[in-house]
A and B are shown apart, each in its own frame.
Chain A
Amino acid sequence: MDFTPAIVAFCCENSAYRAADIAGSKKEGYPPNIKICRLPCSGKLEVIHILKAFEEGADGVFVFACHPDSCRFLTGNVRAGKRIAYVHGLLEKIGIERERVEFFHLSELEWASFLEMVRQGNERIKGLGPSPAKVKK
């Protein structure tokens, strides 16, 4: 089956969002099915944002935070990590594979790593198939 997953990537504007921007300016493409959502800090990410992404038809969600000890707001990335852990538990109870939510650490200069992460992540989500919560049309 030829399946193109819908993926939402929540990116901290101080790291991954800039890395994506640099990758774009270098004309390095990444899968167009990955929709980037800019966050002022990964700590702004709430559980509801991830759930809403799945409600709206996402097959996977990526969250990009700054490296440990590199958050401009000190602990935003730590908080994001805790929320991801909570979401993982909740998704399993609901019946959605926890692997559909991935958490990455990145700095703004690591544009090549960003590309690698989204390309490989895209393949992993592709391997999981459509989200079981997707409304069948």
Chain B
Amino acid sequence: MIIAEQKEISEIIEMIGDHKKVLVIGCNTCVTVCLSGGAKEAAILASALRLAFRVRGKQVEIEETSIERQCELEFVDTLSSAIKDKELLVSMGCGIGVQTIAERFNHLLVVPALNTNFLGLPEKQGVWVERCQACGQCVLDKTGGICPISRCSKSLLNGPCGGSQDGKCEINKEIDCGWHLIYERLKALGRLEFLAEIMPIKKWSTSRDGGPRKVVREDMWL
């Protein structure tokens, strides 16, 4: 899922600026699970903003709502009545949610309340870790299910760099060496021969280097 964290409230206050009618919109999917932008967080942010503006002696009307998914137009459409008479929308979705709302309601300014961090998972309650960089060309079949693109700091494809020590990465001793993990996993699986296969130079055009990406399936068109 997409992992995001809330911006500092001072930054959100600054983005609201002099707008008088504001709607804070939560998203009930990924950012609910990473505790940054769900219905609960939307209620907290809206309440905190109301208090903050009162303290500053400003009259700002702040309401909150939450929708199932900010990244799908069907759900974004359900905001139609809630956004009436609003001057500014504060999205608590990921960057995709902000943009979907901005595209759908292009007469209104939409600002982000979150910083979108990465694709990952909750390692334990309150800790989220990166697992995928959406490179568009998955090699997990060759690496025992551990991604060298996201788990190796240098995204190397054929073993660790010279900086790997005691299973840790040279950029930070808290970070596991992705290739050490791959080696240990393949060893446990009895598939160390996988490492003998040299992975060719990666086609990065399927990643961000190819510009904005698009997936088309004409068979699904209506």
Contact = CB atoms under 8 A, between A and B. Distances in A.
Interface of A: 46-48, 51-52, 54-55, 90, 93-96, 132-135
A93 B8 contact: yes
Contact of B55 (A51, A52, A133): A133
Interface of chain A, main secondary structure: helix
B81 interface: no
Contacts of A96: 51, 55
A51 B62 CA distance: 14
B69 interface: no
A48 B44 contact: yes
B199 interface: no
Given A51-B47, A55-B47, 17 more contacts: A46-B40, A48-B43, A48-B47, A51-B51, A52-B47, A54-B51, A90-B9, A93-B8, A93-B9, A93-B10, A94-B55, A96-B51, A96-B55, A132-B54, A132-B55, A133-B54, A133-B55
Of residues A52, A55, A94, which shows the largest number of chain B Cβ atoms within 10 Å of its Cβ? A94
Given A48-B43, A48-B44, A95-B56, A55 B9 contact: no
A52 B46 CA distance: 10
Contacts of A51: 44, 47-48, 51
Contact of A94 (B40, B43, B51): B51
A94 B8 CA distance: 11
Interface of B: 8-10, 40, 43-44, 47-48, 50-52, 54-56
Nearest to B50: A55
Contacts of B50: 55
Contacts of A48: 40, 43-44, 47
Of residues B8, B10, B50, which shows the largest number of chain A Cβ atoms within 10 Å of its Cβ? B50
13 contacts: A46-B40, A47-B44, A48-B40, A51-B51, A55-B50, A93-B9, A93-B52, A94-B52, A94-B55, A95-B52, A96-B55, A133-B55, A135-B54
B125 to A, nearest CB: 11
Contacts of A46: 40
A47 B45 CA distance: 10
Contacts of B9: 90, 93-94
Nearest to B43: A48
A134 B8 CA distance: 23
